[in-house]
Copies of this chain bind each other. A is one copy, B any other.
């Protein structure tokens, strides 16, 4: 492509609307433009990246035996009512009525539609396993869309659905998709990690998220440097600590702690490490019911784990009014000793403590040398905290490390949740009917593009990995002489003939403008054609990411570029 004839409206200034790097760089590089909150046009440069990611996804889905179809965007309400999600989905579901007042939504996901297709078309176990996928625009009416393609209201996803005869088949299919996802993200050239994920409210059996690693990621993960173990912190299992030799129990004592409301305050005042202070968190678990959860001062509560233990769908801290009704303790001075009529849960790490410190249930006072059993009863011990760096890996025992990531893919064992509700059954060899065992598998295509930028950029712009770069090489004629023009045109023709995706900056602009735009756009190789170089029979090639430069005679440039690209697409 010639840049003079390309619609790539780069911006010199940072746009005010962009909060994160990928959003800012996508706007500045002329990849996307906002039409409404969370709704974007993909301009030619942005669409090229999307299409490259789609092509990789498609190839690997097909290789894994999945078959591509295209389900409609308009999804009839009746199907969603069968699974109960018409009500459950709330305001995130974009709803509308047609001219005959029939209700539809714009599909945010397609379990209902694909399960309906299955039940109408599949009869026999001989038709299984079956995995169907699509790459389709999805809709979710986020209350606060932001971060560009990272959290949009209209976005492109690949979603796949598998149907199997039994759990074993479904597990096999799940593993095939997991492997395909590993190949997909490897092929995009991104650093990523599959992590164990919480199955959350979708209620599946097992689940992995695929995280593109980036310091700016919203998700925190823990990983084991010595084994493949990695997990979302929301999900990561914490191994209970060894019990060790109990300390001698000291005498319970009340101490004055004026205004020491936080673990840090108490720890500083009493000169003990935070690991010796225990937080008492009060959650509302019924209309007038409170549950106390004890967590060590240096740990974070994991509400998803607590929720799961309690069998609840959500969890909120008790309001000050409710706390005042149930206990006499002022906020910041709550403790388990003497709390009556309240269920007490304690994290394993608290169970292993002796002589610790808790709030005294009165203003400006804490208890020291507290010991469970002697001083209060724990109703249940469990894993109620967030994993953190240094915790032992459940696999190797090595200290876990943490990293930030962006969720770009999710594989999910659904079991028979949808097939049972919608009657998606098949007949086995004996003629008996069973619900199909399902899995679902998503990849955010636009979000992968955004994550690639979060992981691959510098202060000058984007540094695309070769496999998803919108162009592979960019020719920059930096002076306006005829010799430079001719050499540039010749290279442009040669590279095009060799099927290199090349952008020629043939605009009538100064070298500085061309360098800036090339760095912003992030084409992996810049081919710099200038009079000085030509006088010495050389052309400079710059690697956008490393900044490394090579100088070659014009006749060798095309071959060098072609080989460099091939190398990077392979590995």
Contact = CB atoms under 8 A, between A and B. Distances in A.
**Which 10 residue pairs are nearest across A and B when measured between Cβ atoms?**
A96-B96, A42-B70, A9-B121, A91-B99, A44-B67, A36-B76, A39-B72, A99-B141, A41-B71, A7-B67
Nearest to A4: B126
B69 A41 contact: yes
Contacts of A315: none
Given A99-B91, A104-B36, A143-B99, A44 B68 contact: yes
A259 interface: no
A33 B116 CA distance: 11
A75 interface: yes
Given A74-B154, A98-B94, A33 B68 contact: no
A74 B70 CA distance: 19
A63 interface: no
Interface string A128-142: 001010000101010
A95 B97 CA distance: 8
A342 interface: no
A102 interface: yes
A86 interface: no
Interface in A1-53: 5-7, 9, 33, 35-36, 39-44, 47, 50
A113 B44 CA distance: 15
7 contacts: A35-B75, A36-B102, A47-B68, A47-B70, A74-B154, A96-B96, A99-B141
Contacts of A5: 65
A120 interface: yes
Interface in A56-83: 65, 67-76
B70 A41 contact: yes
Nearest to A41: B71
A153 interface: yes
Nearest to A155: B72
Nearest to A42: B70
A117 interface: yes
A74 B44 contact: no
A50 B130 CA distance: 22
A116 B102 CA distance: 32
A55 to B, nearest CB: 12
Stoichiometry, as copies per complex, reads 2
A44 B95 CA distance: 28
A47 to B, nearest CB: 5
A111 to B, nearest CB: 14
A73 B33 contact: no
B7 A132 contact: yes
A260 B70 CA distance: 57
A60 to B, nearest CB: 17
Contacts of A39: 72, 74, 76
Nearest to A105: B96
Given A39-B76, A41-B69, A47-B69, 9 more contacts: A33-B120, A33-B121, A35-B72, A35-B75, A39-B74, A41-B113, A42-B70, A43-B69, A98-B141
Nearest to A8: B67
Nearest to A75: B35
A74 B36 contact: yes
A71 to B, nearest CB: 5
Nearest to A114: B41
A9 B120 CA distance: 10
Contacts of A36: 72, 74, 76, 102, 104
A113 B40 CA distance: 11
A75 B72 CA distance: 18
Contacts of A113: 35, 41
B99 A33 contact: no
Interface string A204-219: 0000000000000000
A55 B69 CA distance: 16
A157 to B, nearest CB: 14
Contacts of A139: 73-74
